[in-house]
Each structure stands twice: as structure tokens, then as C-alpha cells.
């Protein structure tokens, strides 16, 4: 069984081909990072998997054709944490996390005991218990990110999609969030697909990196295979040095070009 | 008082409504007495003998009670519709007239007043024309917004509503200019009024209000989901377009019915939900039921003021809701934001 299998998935937005024949598979329990320059199609790939945009090609989630899976059923398999979640300011953290139970409820249903338990467990997992009754707009950026992660965890979907989970966080919060994701992955047997801008962090946390450029998959493999000076220079147009730092993986260092 | 706690806020809201209803039937030129009023009302409902004299009983049962009940129905409907529109459009400034309901109803009413003036027909036709006008305007706005593309989401719908409203208002002004003699009648209708003839108006509104409240309240959890945005709501398995359509239909039908019998009463759909948001929190699970109850009580009080300040003349109720509602809202806004800071 594969957790996620894309077979020639293409997406056109406004006449432009944003994703072009993407083919890859993710094993259960794996953490795969999508990397690539701006506009490479990373976020589009996540949105297609979450069933939010139409696509050509075949997309299978846990061996079921996602294209013919009902929206609610798909939401029980796939949880998405967007890069900039829309935060409704005037509801509490707990009310927000409880929204994650939506795919498990009927159209007019309301939460039962199991749903409240799932929300409480998610709050606990993300150290949000003291914040449960706080309004979302009183939270800091890092705390909000944790609240959105808690909502995704309450959704109880085995495949977790993260769009730039560390964007707009400081170095310490970035590390903290990635450690949390890794812990959740281990404890709950989750499969994680995330887009990442920070290549060093991507190499440290993901099992496998997929490098996208112009909507195409141009390289894939472990950090030492993908994080090479040649590949990064070619596809990011950046001048970098890749340092193999013992104990911390491959560190991608930008190099200032001579004037 | 804890925000979001239904066990605190629901009883408080019911108490507010009960006090409003009682005040509404007690205030008036003829003194009836609280105990007698309550006993007579029960007597009518259960087919018993009323303790009031014939004339007093008629004042209660034929004049005051229908009017108070109508105010409650219209108030609850406008507040719930306002809260619903704010939810589906994620726009705090949305009100029940956002998609052109007011302009459509205004055009319908003006046409009747202009082309069937003063007749017996007028009294029967006006609510129907206002209802049809309001509903038709929203249907047009929805069709226009949808064809403009679902990509634009709620913003396209709101813009379509503005477009339709401007167009219909232009038509209404044109008809009115052609029949200048009708200006006063149209104007008084535009300002809102709760004139009743027995239970007729109540009977018109009740079925729409009950159906709409039911549909809206059943969507209260889904409106919370919509608050996280169309795309995130979709990733949680919600068919956003369907929720939006159902809630808009319910809110629009109820608004059209309210407008048909009471004219354009401003501000209720904004003040009431926002006051509740500031006090009890923004979750639609609590906000929607509270809007119905508090909106009902609010309009009953507004009507009491409308018929007493200039007694025996009446102030248009739309003037009262805006005049007293706006400063009250300002006080609530200042107090809560200061406490939060």
C-alpha cells in the first residue's frame, strides 16, 4: 500500500500549466518534502491532493482513487495545514480545534463525546491546554501555528499536508514545530507531505526530498542526492555552498556574489 | 460571565425577551395590568374565559399582542438573517439587505403604491410585491455573482449584490419621480413601520420565519467552519457553495417576509449580532440562537419607544433602531475593546 500516489498529475490555472505530469509515490509513515523555487508548483501539488482544485491524471490516497472519493471521505484521509490559515479571531482555541472533527460529522450533526475527546487530546499533544479558552486573535504566530496543527490532528487523517509550516516563525519556533510534526508522525503513524523553503531544515527532517521546477519533478531522493550545489544553482538560480556538517546533515549556505 | 457559555447566555436572552414582550403589551394609553394581561393571553391561547372586559380584551388581543408578536418575529428574523449573512460572506458589515433585498422590496412596494394607489388592492398587494421584489433581487444577485466565477468567492457575490441594488434603486427612483404624489407613502414604508391589522401580518410572517430560523440554526456549526475560509472549509469536507446557498436562501426568504410586512427596518441585522459577538463570543453555535431571541426582544423595545415618545403620533421604527441602536453599540464596542486591551 502507498499512502499517496500521483500518476501524471497536471494542473492548469488561468491557462498556465502550473503542474506538469507530476508522478511520485509516498510510503505510509514517510515524511516527504516538496522543495523548489517560487512558482514551482509545490502548493498547487498539495491543493490537488487535498481535492481543492481540478487536475488531470490519477491521484490515489491509500490506494483509493481520490478523484471519485466524496469530499467528506477524502477529508477523513487528508488533513491540510495551509501556509497562512484564515484565523477567525473571535472564537476560542478549543472551538477552533473542534472544527477539525467536521469530516466525521453528518451535515447537520454535532460533536459527540468522542469528538470532544479527540479535540482535547489534540490540545494536549500541542501543549495548548492552557490556551483552550483563549480567543485565537490573542495568540502569537507560533501559538496559532500550533492551534492549526491541533485542528489538523483532531481531524484524525492519516495523511498530513503542510504548506510551509515554518514560514513566518523564528528559528526556535521553526525547530519546535518541525519537532512536533515529527513526534506526531511517530506517535500517530502519520504520513507527512510538506512544502519547505528552508532547504537545510527540509534535509534535516524529511526522509525524502522532491525538487520541483516549472511544475515538473526534476530531482528526488535523500538530502545528499538532492541538496547539491549543481541542482540548487540550476533550479533556484542561487549561489550556494552545501556543507556536510556532521550531526546536522547538509547545510545550504548562500554565498554572496561578487559585485 | 464566561464567553461562549450557553448555560449563562441563553437564559439571560430569554429573560430579556420575556421582559420585552411584557413591556410591549403593558405600555399604551389604556392601563391593563400585568397579571390580567398574562392571564388573558393564556385564556386566549387555551380557549378559556378572559379576565379582562370586552374593550380591554380587544385592545390586548386585537391591537397590542399582534403588534408585539410581529415586532418579535421581524426583529428575530432580521437579526438572525444579519448574523447568517455575516457568516456566509465572512463580512462583519453584511446585513440582511446586502444582496439587494431592500432595493428589490423598495421597487416592488413603490410600483404598487404608484400604479394601484390607495385602493383596497394596495393593502393586499404591497406585502406580496415587496416580498417578490426582495427575493427576485437576491436571485439576480446570486445568478450574477455565480456567473462571475466561483474563484472570486463571496466577494463576487457581494459586488453583484451592490450592482443589482444600485440598478433596482435607480428604477425605484424613476418610478417615484413619475408619481411624485406617492413620495410620502413610499417614504414612510422605506423607514419601516409595524402597523398591524389584527393577526394578519403575523400570519404572513410566521411560516417563513419558522422555516428560515430552523434552516439557519441547523447550519450554526457549519457557519463556524466557513469562518476558516472557503478552501480550508472544503479541506474539512464541507461543500461550501451548498452551505452558502442554503443559508442565503433561508435568510433571504425570511428577510423578504419581514420586509413585506414591516418595511425597511435598518440596523437590527448589524447591531444585534455584533453586540452578542462582543459579549458572548463569535461562535455561530451560540450567536445564531441568541440573535433570534435578542433581536426579537430588541425590536419589541424599539417599537415601544416608537409608539410612546411622540404619542399619540408614531415615530418610524427604523429611526428608533438607528437612533438608539447606534450609540448603544458604540458603548458596547468601547467597553469591550478597552477591557481586552
Q: A68 to chain B, minimum CA–CA distance in Å?
A: 14
Q: Structural domain of residue A196, as residue ranges?
A: 4-89+157-236
Count of structural domains within chain A: 1
Which conformational region is residue B29 in: left (phi greater than 0), alpha (psi within -120 to 50 degrees), or beta?
alpha
Q: Do A91 and B222 touch (CB under 8 A)?
A: no
Tell whether B1 is covered by a domain. Answer: no
Cis peptide preceding A117, ω within 30 of 0 = no
Mutate to test the interface with B, among A91, A97, A138, A144 (most CBs of B within 10 A): A91
Residue B172 is part of a domain; what is its CATH number?
A: 1.10.3470.10
A144, part of any domain: no
Domain annotation covers residue A129: no
- Tens digits of per-residue pLDDT, B290-316? 999 999 999 999 999 999 988 788 888
Tell me if B218 sits within 8 A of B289, measured CB to CB: no
Q: Of A74, A41, A52, which Cα lies nearest the Cα of A155?
A: A74
Q: What is the ipTM of this complex?
A: 0.90
* Among the partner residues B4, B219, B228, nearest to A85 by beta-carbon distance: B228
Question: What angle in degrees, to the nearest 10, is found between the helix axes of B284-308 and B268-280?
Answer: 130
Choosing among A107, A139, A149, A161, which should be mutated to test the B contact, i.e. which has the most B CBs within 10 A? A107
> Is A205 part of any domain?
yes
Dihedral pair phi/psi, residue B269, rounded to 5°: -70, -15
- How many beta-carbon contacts under 8 Å exist across A and B? 78
**Percent share of chain A, pLDDT over 90:** 75
The answer to whether position A217 is within a domain reads: yes
Which residues from chain A sit within 8 angstroms of residue B221, using beta carbons?
A: 102, 105, 109-110
| pLDDT over 60 at B214, yes or no | yes
pTM over 0.95: no
Is residue B31 included in any domain, yes or no? Answer: yes
Mean pLDDT of B152-162: 81
| pLDDT given for residue B92 in this prediction | 78
Contact between chains at A91 and B282 (C-beta distance less than 8 A): yes
- B265: region left, alpha or beta (phi > 0 left; psi from -120 to 50 alpha): beta
Across-strand partners of B18? none
Per-residue confidence (pLDDT) for residue B341, from 0 to 100: 46
pLDDT (mean) for B158-165? 91
Does residue A122 form part of some domain?
no
> Taking a C-beta distance cutoff of 8 angstroms, is the pair A196, A35 a contact?
yes
| Surface of A (32-71) touching B: CB under 8 A | 47, 50-52, 71
Closest chain B residue to A134 measured between Cα atoms? B3
Split into its structural domains, chain B has a count of: 1
Give the per-residue pLDDT at B198: 84
Assess if residue A130 is contained within a domain: no
Q: What domain range includes position B287? A: 6-340
Where do we find the cell 468567492? B153
Torsion region of A221: left, alpha or beta (phi above 0 gives left; psi -120 to 50 gives alpha): left
CATH number, domain with residue A162? 3.40.50.300
Q: Does A110 touch chain B (CB under 8 A)?
A: yes
CB B259 within 8 A of CB B101: yes
Number of neighbouring beta carbons within 10 Å of residue B148: 15
Q: Which residue of A has its CA nearest to B239?
A: A71
* Rounded alpha-carbon distances, angstroms, from residue B129 to B108, B126, B182, B261, B263: 5, 5, 16, 11, 12
Residue B228 within a domain? yes
pLDDT at B124 over 90: no
**Closest listed residue to residue A155, CA positions, set A122, A193, A106:** A122
For chain A, list residues with pLDDT below 50: none
CB A50 to CB B4 under 8 A?
Answer: no
Q: Per the CB < 8 Å rule, is A85 touching B277?
A: no
**Cβ-Cβ contacts under 8 Å, A109 against chain B:** 221
pLDDT value for A45: 96
Closest chain B residue to the Cα of A135, Cα to Cα: B281
Using the Cα atoms of residue B5, residue B7, residue B10 and residue B16 in order, give the sign of their dihedral: negative
Coil vs helix vs strand at A241? strand
Alpha-carbon torsion (A231, A235, A237, A238), positive or negative: negative
For residue B114, the model assigns a pLDDT of: 86
A8 Cα to chain B: minimum distance (Å): 22
Residues from chain B that touch A78, judged by Cβ atoms under 8 A, are 235
Contact B4 A95 (CB under 8 A): yes
Give residue B17's pLDDT band: very low, low, confident or very high (50, 70, 90): very high
Amino acid at each position: 500500500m502507498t499512502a499517496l500516489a500521483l500518476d501524471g498529475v497536471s494542473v492548469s490555472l488561468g491557462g498556465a500549466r502550473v503542474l506538469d505530469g507530476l508522478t511520485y509515490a509516498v510510503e505510509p509513515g514517510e515524511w516527504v518534502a516538496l522543495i523548489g523555487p517560487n512558482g514551482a508548483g509545490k502548493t498547487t501539488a498539495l491543493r490537488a491532493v487535498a481535492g481543492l482544485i481540478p487536475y488531470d491524471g490519477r491521484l490515489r490516497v491509500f490506494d483509493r482513487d481520490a478523484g471519485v472519493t466524496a469530499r467528506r471521505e477524502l477529508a477523513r484521509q487528508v488533513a491540510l495545514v495551509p501556509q497562512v490559515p484564515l484565523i477567525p479571531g473571535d472564537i476560542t482555541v478549543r472551538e477552533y480545534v473542534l472544527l477539525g472533527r467536521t469530516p466525521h460529522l453528518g451535515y447537520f450533526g454535532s460533536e459527540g463525546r468522542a469528538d470532544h475527546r479527540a479535540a482535547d487530546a489534540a490540545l494536549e499533544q500541542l501543549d495548548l491546554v492552557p490556551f483552550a479558552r483563549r480567543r485565537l486573535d490573542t495568540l502569537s504566530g507560533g501559538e496559532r501555528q500550533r492551534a492549526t496543527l491541533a485542528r489538523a490532528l483532531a481531524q484524525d487523517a492519516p495523511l498530513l499536508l503542510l504548506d510551509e509550516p515554518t514560514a513566518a516563525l523564528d528559528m526556535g519556533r521553526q525547530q519546535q514545530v518541525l519537532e512536533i510534526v515529527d513526534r506526531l508522525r511517530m506517535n500517530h503513524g502519520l504520513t507527512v507531505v510538506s512544502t519547505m523553503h528552508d532547504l537545510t531544515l527540509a534535509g534535516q527532517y524529511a526522509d525524502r526530498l522532491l525538487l520541483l521546477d516549472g511544475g515538473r519533478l526534476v530531482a528526488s531522493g535523500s538530502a545528499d542526492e538532492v541538496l547539491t550545489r549543481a541542482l540548487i544553482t540550476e533550479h533556484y538560480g542561487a549561489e550556494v555552498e552545501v556543507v556536510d556538517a556532521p550531526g546536522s546533515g547538509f547545510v545550504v549556505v548562500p554565498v554572496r556574489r561578487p559585485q | 460571565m464566561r464567553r461562549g457559555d450557553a448555560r449563562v447566555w441563553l437564559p439571560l436572552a430569554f429573560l430579556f425577551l420575556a421582559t420585552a414582550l411584557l413591556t410591549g403589551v403593558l405600555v399604551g394609553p389604556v392601563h391593563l395590568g400585568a397579571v390580567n394581561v398574562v392571564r388573558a393571553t393564556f385564556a386566549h391561547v387555551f380557549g378559556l374565559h378572559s379576565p379582562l372586559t370586552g374593550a380591554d380584551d380587544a385592545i390586548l388581543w386585537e391591537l397590542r399582542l399582534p403588534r408585539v408578536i410581529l415586532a418579535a418575529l421581524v426583529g428575530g428574523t432580521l437579526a438572525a438573517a444579519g448574523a447568517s449573512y455575516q457568516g456566509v460572506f465572512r463580512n462583519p458589515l453584511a446585513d440582511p439587505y446586502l444582496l439587494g433585498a431592500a432595493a428589490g422590496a423598495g421597487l416592488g412596494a413603490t410600483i404598487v403604491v404608484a400604479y394601484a394607489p390607495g385602493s383596497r388592492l394596495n393593502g393586499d398587494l404591497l406585502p406580496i410585491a415587496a416580498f417578490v421584489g426582495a427575493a427576485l433581487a437576491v436571485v439576480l444577485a446570486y445568478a450574477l455573482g455565480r456567473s462571475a466565477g466561483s474563484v472570486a468567492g463571496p466577494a463576487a457575490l457581494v459586488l453583484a449584490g451592490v450592482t443589482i441594488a444600485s440598478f433596482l434603486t435607480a428604477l425605484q427612483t424613476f418610478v417615484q419621480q413619475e408619481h411624485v404624489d406617492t413620495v410620502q407613502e413610499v417614504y414612510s414604508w422605506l423607514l419601516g413601520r409595524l402597523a398591524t391589522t389584527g393577526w394578519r401580518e403575523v400570519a404572513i410572517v410566521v411560516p417563513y420565519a419558522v422555516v428560515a430560523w430552523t434552516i439557519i440554526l441547523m447550519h450554526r456549526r457549519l457557519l463556524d467552519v466557513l469562518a476558516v475560509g472557503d478552501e480550508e472549509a472544503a479541506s474539512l469536507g464541507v461543500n461550501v457553495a451548498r452551505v452558502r446557498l442554503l443559508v442565503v436562501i433561508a435568510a433571504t426568504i425570511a428577510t423578504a417576509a419581514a420586509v413585506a410586512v414591516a418595511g425597511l427596518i435598518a440596523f437590527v441585522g448589524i447591531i444585534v449580532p455584533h453586540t452578542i459577538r462582543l459579549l458572548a463570543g463569535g461562535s455561530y453555535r451560540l450567536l445564531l440562537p441568541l440573535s433570534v431571541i435578542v433581536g426579537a426582544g430588541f425590536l419589541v423595545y424599539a417599537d415601544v419607544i416608537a409608539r410612546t415618545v411622540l404619542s399619540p403620533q408614531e415615530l418610524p421604527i427604523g429611526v428608533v433602531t438607528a437612533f438608539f441602536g447606534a450609540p448603544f453599540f458604540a458603548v458596547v464596542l468601547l467597553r469591550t475593546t478597552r477591557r481586552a486591551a
